[in-house]
Structure formats: structure tokens, C-alpha cells
A and B are shown apart, each in its own frame.
Chain A
Amino acid sequence: MSASVVSNLFRRCPITGLNVHRDAENLVKVNAVVAIVALLVGAIAGLLLVLTRWQTVHLLSAVWYYRLLTAHGLNMLIFFIIFFEMAVLYFAGPIVLGSRVPTPKLGWLSWVLMVAGAVLVEVMVFSGRADVLFTSYPPLRAHPLYYFGIILFAVGALIVSFIFMASLVVAKREKTYEGSIPLVTFGGLTAAIIAIITLVHGAAIYIPTLAWSMDYMPMDAQIYRLIFWGLGHSSQQINMAAQVSIWYLLGGLTVGAVVVNEKISRTAFVLYIGFISMASAHHLLVDPGMGPAWKVWNTSYAMYLAVLASMIHGFTVPAGIETGQRLRGFVNGTFEWLRKAPWSDPGFSGLMLSLVIFGFIGGTTGVTIGTEQINILAHNTLRIPGHFHATVVGGTALAFMAVTYYLIPLIFRKKVALWKLAKIQPWLFGVGVTIFSMAMTFAGVFGVPRRHWDISFSQAIFKWEFPPATDLMLALTALGGVLMVAAVIIFVLSAVISVFFGETLDLANVRPGMAGVPQGLIKLPPQQYEGAAVEKVHKTGTPGTVVLVAVFLGVFVLYYYTNWKMLAIVWKVG
């Protein structure tokens, strides 16, 4: 290619020095914008749902409660998250490698397919032809076009996963980078591989279900549950791989975090790929279809090797941040690196809150309720959404929001609008989701069911009253939900105003103290360190991180032990 062609197709980023392919950049933009629209729809539905579960308010009718619950699940877990992941893939592949999207037209086609599928699903749900909740367990039946919409969307996402892989091949062949792909791209590759595994499960279940919905074939209720969760749970592992990559990415951009050991971090990603789809079993632990050996082996991802992977990232991410901070001169004591971190940078605060909420709440509750026998206490209670809001919302969504504050200047080349509010947004969201998840978890301990319109049973043939503590917990759930939705609205407004009406940012001329530009972009921290400083930091190690992970393990052990004690007092069953 001649130089002029190259300069038309690419621009050089003055901050990161990356050559940014214009098609890649545009595909990041359109996917991110649709993701944010879905986030807003899902958040409004979520607000109405918590105000219904709070029995004192009990806002929605039963019909609309279940309908919006369906819409909330699909918009958040599928549309918001996966559109955003498509943006992450275009960023982590072509842009980080300074390469190009090999097939831009296919990229646009896949986006059109995904949007068409999503719109079809929304129409079916909001017109009342798919009141089947996110899981659509047969024999519960939706309109065939609902399943068809999901299939269209999934085909689009599958194409993007392959485009990502093709972009790695092209970058290698065109030598846009030397050595191995960076860790961020490696994490993106992990997400893409898991996406393919997941979407194959999706095809294996939604295509027969579409045929069943048109009366062409029978559908076994248990086999549906098995294969559906090969999609439903594994898709959350796409999130996790993407979110962990973003942790590493934001660590580098915000404080010059390093990769303490490439071997360990990459091995942990490979463990995800190997064992993650076994997590389908988490949903089937108290099902009649499978035996104990199958349940024990699968729910533990073959002896907890995927949990091991998360515990590794839970160490290496903060250790990388600590090392980066120490290399930048914050060497005093155990925690100076943490105290003097840029906490008012939403990219950094979002990263740290995501890490803590995901690990301390999401991780510990997930492993515990995913234990075969303890699941007897948790299945289909509010403990389940309590857990997965800590992982998907407190972990993934918060990480995605945090990285958006860097994508707006880097990719959209705009200043972040509503900058003062944006700086507190991750805190508001983090506090909200923490209250929400913990309150739901406590309510679930009393057996309060999830997906239930009226736990006062006011019209049922037998009466039942939950302990008064559950009323308080549901009110707190609503409070957490309101805080979260307020934070989402700030985020959406900030993103939309920045992108469509924002002040254009000349990346070559950022100045200290400039509003709307995160501190990592005002002065990008070093991305490479050499020499005596490195040897010195190797001697110190990461004492602060050691303390943090020790506290984490203590919490984990205590929570796990308490649950076995709770199980031991109920009826004998076997």
C-alpha cells in the first residue's frame, strides 16, 4: 500500500502512538452506541422491577412485571453486554495491534444482523408475544419470531468473533506488531473463543426450539435446560474474559500497571477456555435429569480450575497495579501505591470497584451457591440474582463503563461531557450494586423467590408471611437499584452528550487540568520499564496485594463454611 492510501485508512493516535484503522474505529463506535441504548432500556425496566419487588410500592401489574423482567434480562445480559463486547473485540484486535479489520463489509453486515435480531426480539417482547423470561424454558412458548430474532443476533456475533480472529492473522502477516500479541489482545482472543463455543450451544438450542415453536418437532424440557445453559452461563464467561482484559487495559492506561508474569496471566486465560462451558451445571444442581457424579464434576469446572484462573487474575491485576505504582515512585509502606492512586479518575475507580465487587461478592457467592449441596438452599431464590448482579453488573458492566471514559477521548476524540458527574459515577454505581446484591442475597437466605410478582400471596389459597426482615431487604434492594439506575442515567447522558454533541478533542494538545479528559490520557503513564528500577521492584514484590488477597481468602473461607453450617440444619434429604 502506498503511504497516501495508508493515511486515508488509518490515523495515528498522538497519545498511544497506535495506528487506528478507520473502519475498526467506526465499528467500535456503532456497536458501543447500540450497547448504550440497550443499557438504557434495560435500566428503566430494572427500575420498575425493583419498585415492584418492594412490596410497599408494588408498582407494576403482574403482566407487566413478567414482561419487563423478560425485557430487562435480554437487554442487559444479551444486547448491552454483547454489543459492547463486539466493540471490545474491534478495539482489542485491530486497534491495539495497529492493524486493520480484514473484512469491513462483513463487519457492517454482522452489525445489521445483530440490530435486526435485537429489534425483532424487542418487538416480540413488548407486544406481549414472548412473556417467557430470559430463559424461555419449554414448554413455555414464545412466538417463533422471538427465537428467530435471537438466532439472527447470534449469527451476527459469531461473525464478529471470526472477524476478530482473522484480524489477528492479518496483523501477524502484515507485521504490524513484533513478538507475541499483547495480553489485552490475548484476553480478547479468549473472549472470542468462548463466544464461539457459547454461540454454537446457542445454535444447538435455539434452532430446535424455533422448530418446536412451529410444531415441527418435540422438545424435552430437561435437555433444553442443559443445552440452554451451555449458552446462558458460558456467555457470562465471555463477559468475564472481556472484563478481565479491560482490567489489564485500564491498569496500563491509568497507572502504568505492568504484567507481573505473562505466563501466569495467559495460562489463567487458557484455563477459562478449557473449563468454562461446564458451568451449565450450575443451573441443574437440583434438577432431576442428572446424577451426582455429573453434577459434582461439571459444577466444579473439573475441580475448580476456572475458579483457580479467576483467583490468579484476582492477584495479578492488583499486583500489576501495585508494581506499576511502585515503579512510578509510590514506594512507601504497604499501601502508599493504593492511597495515592488516581481515585477521581473514573477509569481507575471503576476498575478497582469492578475488581473488588466481582471478587468479594460475585466470586465468593458464586462458588458457594454453585456447590452441589449448598445449591439446595439457593436455587431460584433471590440469592441467584444477588450473585449475578455482583458479577455481571458490579464486575462487567462497571468495567465497561470505566473503559468508556477512555474510549470517548481515544476513539470518538471527544471530551467526556458532564465530567464532574462522570467522576463520581462509578462510585454511585458501585455503592448501588453492592447494596442491591447484598440485600438480595440476604433476602434469598430466607428463601424469597426470584422472578415472583407477589410474595405476600394476597390472592393465593394458602397464606404465608416471610419474616419482616425480608421487607427491609427488599426495600434496600430497591434503594440499591435506584442508585444504580441514577448512575446508569449519568453514564448514558455523559456518553450520549459527549459522542453526539461533545466538544471535539485534539489529542495532540491535551493540557494538565483539562476537564473531560481522564488523567491517564493527559499524561499517559509509562508502558515499559527497564533497568535498576525494575530490579528493585522485583526485590520488594507486592506486599499490599498480598494483604488484600489474604483478606479476600479469609472472607471466602468464612462465607463458604457458614453455608455448610446453614445446610446442616434443614430437613434430611437425599
Chain B
Amino acid sequence: MEELHSALVSPRHVWWKPAGKQEKVWVTVSFVWCMILFAMMPLWHIKGGQNPSGIRARVDPIAYHKRVEQFVADYKIGEESGMPIVAPPPGSHVYLLGRMWQWYPSLQLEEGKSYTLHLSSTDLNHGFNLQPFNINFQVVPGYDYGLRVTPNKAGDYRVICNEYCGIGHHLMIGKVLVTPAKTVAAPRQGEEG
């Protein structure tokens, strides 16, 4: 005889029974949807332009700090509010340092050109958040995250810290200026940092 019971009642007999038609259809539809959700990620690696892969390596914080200072010395073009402004050539490696409580240095990039943007920290975790485009990456001390970025629009951008890093966390803001694409090729294009 057919019986049904609530979830408070112990099933007395074998409960491994075939599912009804509606349940079967829903489970199948859900499974197919799950496979689509899964397939989208590898597909975006192949077809899409935004992936968090990058070049990933461990790095000694002191060595990273030295590399950033070298980068600043190589390409510094000015200063604003005591923060050096650095204009690396297109195609080069760019080094940004997150530390309590600043993004060091300010960057000047060119629209439509690619750079390898390195992110690391010499103290705590920080969060790279690019405004107004809302691109987010975790910045972890001891790890170098090198991301190939191509600014697709000229403008005055900010980098906000969105990982709690102590009492001055909300003061941590950096600057990225993207200049409009030049018609003549930049002289040091393709140079590696």
C-alpha cells in the first residue's frame, strides 16, 4: 500500500525507491544547469578577456620592496602629494606595493597597451580594488601576483584597499592615470623590466 510520511517519522521499509517524474525532470534540469555553470569557467579562459590566472610566485618581501624601488627609480616622471608618479613603457613589468597604508607608487599607463602588473605586500594582506571599474585582487605578503592588464579606457583611476589592514585601512588609496592612446609608437615599447 502506498504511504507517505513526514521528515519526523522513521521510514519502516526500503526507502530507496524510484523518483516521481517531476523530481526526475527537475534533477536533470538542475544537473544540466550545473554543467553549464562549470563549463563557463574553462570556456572564459579560452574565449574571455578577464581571468585571474596571472604569473604567481613566492617572493621575499624585502626583495619585492627593492624591485619596486628600482622600478620607481627607472621610470619616475614626477610627484604628487609626496607620492612618486611612475610611467613605465608599454609592455613592461609594473610593480605596485601595498603597505600600511598606501599603494606605492602612483602609475601612469597608456590606453590600449598591455602591462604586467605585479602586486604584493611587505606587511599585511591588502585588497586591490580599481575604481571606477571595480576590478579586485587579493594582495598577500610573500606572494607576487603578476597580472597582464590592458587599460581599455583613458581616465583618472583610484586603487582602494578592500582588505582590512589595521586602523588606517580606510586611508589607503592609490592613483592610476591612464592617458589616451598615442598615435606614434612609444620609444621603449616591449622592454622587459
Residue ranges of A at the interface with B (Cβ–Cβ < 8 Å): 16, 62-63, 66, 96, 131, 133, 137, 139-140, 177-184, 187, 220-222, 225, 245, 248-249, 251-253, 256-266, 284-292, 295-296, 299-300, 303-305, 307-308, 311-312, 315-316, 319-320, 323-324, 327, 367, 371-373, 375-381, 445-447, 449-455, 457, 459-462, 464, 466-467, 527-531, 534-535, 537-538, 541-542, 545-546, 549, 553, 556-557, 560, 564, 567-568, 570-574
Given contacts A375-B52, A449-B127, 19 further A-B contacts (CB under 8 A): A182-B7, A252-B9, A287-B140, A292-B51, A299-B41, A304-B38, A308-B30, A315-B27, A377-B135, A380-B163, A449-B129, A457-B173, A460-B172, A528-B3, A528-B5, A528-B9, A541-B22, A567-B48, A574-B50
B 154-176 to A, binary, CB cutoff 8 A, 1 in contact else 0: 00001011111111011111110
Contacts of B56 in A (CB 8 A): 288-291
Task: Pull 6 A–B residue pairs with CB atoms less than 8 Å apart, ordered by A.
Answer: A252-B8, A311-B30, A315-B27, A452-B170, A460-B171, A460-B172
CA distance A249 to B44 in the complex (A): 42
Most chain A beta-carbon neighbours within 10 Å: one of B48, B138, B171: B138
- The smallest beta-carbon distance between B125 and chain A, in angstroms, is 5
| With A264-B27, A452-B170 as contacts: A571 and B149 at CB distance below 8 Å | yes
CA distance A379 to B11 in the complex (A): 45
Q: Which residues of B1-57 have CB atoms within 8 Å of chain A's CB atoms? A: 1-13, 15-17, 19-23, 26-27, 29-31, 33-35, 37-38, 40-42, 44-45, 48-54, 56
Contacts of B133 in A (CB 8 A): 447, 570-571
Report yes or no: B23 in contact with A264, Cβ–Cβ below 8 A.
Answer: yes
CA distance A552 to B132 in the complex (A): 32
In the complex formed, the residue of A with least CB distance to B29 is: A553
Report yes or no: B124 in contact with A464, Cβ–Cβ below 8 A.
Answer: no
In the complex formed, the residue of A with least CB distance to B174 is: A462
In the complex formed, the residue of B with least CB distance to A373 is: B44
Report yes or no: A380 in contact with B136, Cβ–Cβ below 8 A.
Answer: yes
CA distance A178 to B4 in the complex (A): 16
Report yes or no: B45 in contact with A292, Cβ–Cβ below 8 A.
Answer: yes
Report yes or no: B5 in contact with A447, Cβ–Cβ below 8 A.
Answer: no
Report yes or no: A462 in contact with B164, Cβ–Cβ below 8 A.
Answer: no
Out of A258, A290, A311, A574, which one reaches B5, CB within 8 Å? A258
- Is B145 at the interface (CB under 8 A from chain A)? yes
Report yes or no: B51 in contact with A573, Cβ–Cβ below 8 A.
Answer: yes
- The smallest beta-carbon distance between A455 and chain B, in angstroms, is 8
- Is B81 at the interface (CB under 8 A from chain A)? yes
Contacts of B170 in A (CB 8 A): 62, 452-455, 457, 460
- The smallest beta-carbon distance between B113 and chain A, in angstroms, is 11
CA distance A445 to B175 in the complex (A): 21
Minimum-distance CB pairs A-B, first 4: A252-B6, A447-B134, A288-B145, A449-B162
CA distance A308 to B137 in the complex (A): 29
In the complex formed, the residue of A with least CB distance to B22 is: A541
Contacts of A464 in B (CB 8 A): 131, 158, 160, 173
- The smallest beta-carbon distance between A537 and chain B, in angstroms, is 8
Out of A140, A261, A312, A568, which one reaches B166, CB within 8 Å? A140
Report yes or no: A571 in contact with B130, Cβ–Cβ below 8 A.
Answer: yes
Q: Which residues of B69-95 have CB atoms within 8 Å of chain A's CB atoms? A: 81-83
- Is B97 at the interface (CB under 8 A from chain A)? no
CA distance A39 to B52 in the complex (A): 37
CA distance A315 to B31 in the complex (A): 13
Contacts of A567 in B (CB 8 A): 48, 50
Contacts of A451 in B (CB 8 A): 162-164, 169
Report yes or no: B162 in contact with A380, Cβ–Cβ below 8 A.
Answer: yes
- The smallest beta-carbon distance between B20 and chain A, in angstroms, is 7
Contacts of B11 in A (CB 8 A): 179-180, 182, 262
- The smallest beta-carbon distance between A204 and chain B, in angstroms, is 19
In the complex formed, the residue of A with least CB distance to B125 is: A137
Contacts of A557 in B (CB 8 A): 33
Out of B31, B37, B169, B175, which one reaches A560, CB within 8 Å? B37
In the complex formed, the residue of B with least CB distance to A140 is: B124
Report yes or no: B50 in contact with A570, Cβ–Cβ below 8 A.
Answer: yes
Contacts of A251 in B (CB 8 A): 6-7
In the complex formed, the residue of B with least CB distance to A377 is: B134
Contacts of B35 in A (CB 8 A): 303-304
| With A305-B34, A373-B50 as contacts: A452 and B135 at CB distance below 8 Å | no
CA distance A249 to B6 in the complex (A): 8
CA distance A367 to B37 in the complex (A): 9
Report yes or no: B134 in contact with A183, Cβ–Cβ below 8 A.
Answer: no
Out of A296, A556, A573, which one reaches B50, CB within 8 Å? A573
Out of B26, B37, B124, which one reaches A304, CB within 8 Å? B37
Report yes or no: A462 in contact with B50, Cβ–Cβ below 8 A.
Answer: no
Contacts of B3 in A (CB 8 A): 528-530, 534
- The smallest beta-carbon distance between A230 and chain B, in angstroms, is 17
Most chain B beta-carbon neighbours within 10 Å: one of A140, A327, A549, A560: A140
- Is B152 at the interface (CB under 8 A from chain A)? yes
- The smallest beta-carbon distance between A428 and chain B, in angstroms, is 28
Contacts of A537 in B (CB 8 A): 4
- The smallest beta-carbon distance between B81 and chain A, in angstroms, is 5
Report yes or no: A262 in contact with B17, Cβ–Cβ below 8 A.
Answer: yes
CA distance A224 to B56 in the complex (A): 17
Out of B21, B40, B139, which one reaches A371, CB within 8 Å? B40
| With A308-B31, A573-B149 as contacts: A139 and B123 at CB distance below 8 Å | yes
CA distance A367 to B163 in the complex (A): 22
| With A304-B34, A573-B147 as contacts: A568 and B6 at CB distance below 8 Å | no
Contacts of A449 in B (CB 8 A): 127, 129, 160-162
- The smallest beta-carbon distance between B15 and chain A, in angstroms, is 4
In the complex formed, the residue of B with least CB distance to A259 is: B7
Report yes or no: A379 in contact with B127, Cβ–Cβ below 8 A.
Answer: yes
Report yes or no: A574 in contact with B8, Cβ–Cβ below 8 A.
Answer: no
Contacts of A446 in B (CB 8 A): 132, 134
CA distance A327 to B52 in the complex (A): 52
Contacts of A177 in B (CB 8 A): 10
Report yes or no: B53 in contact with A261, Cβ–Cβ below 8 A.
Answer: no
Report yes or no: A133 in contact with B164, Cβ–Cβ below 8 A.
Answer: yes
CA distance A300 to B163 in the complex (A): 24
- The smallest beta-carbon distance between B62 and chain A, in angstroms, is 14
Most chain A beta-carbon neighbours within 10 Å: one of B22, B123, B134: B134
- The smallest beta-carbon distance between B142 and chain A, in angstroms, is 6
- The smallest beta-carbon distance between A570 and chain B, in angstroms, is 5
Contacts of B2 in A (CB 8 A): 530-531, 534-535, 538
- Is B180 at the interface (CB under 8 A from chain A)? no
Out of B7, B147, B171, which one reaches A459, CB within 8 Å? B171
- The smallest beta-carbon distance between A322 and chain B, in angstroms, is 11
B 109-136 to A, binary, CB cutoff 8 A, 1 in contact else 0: 0000010000110011101011111111
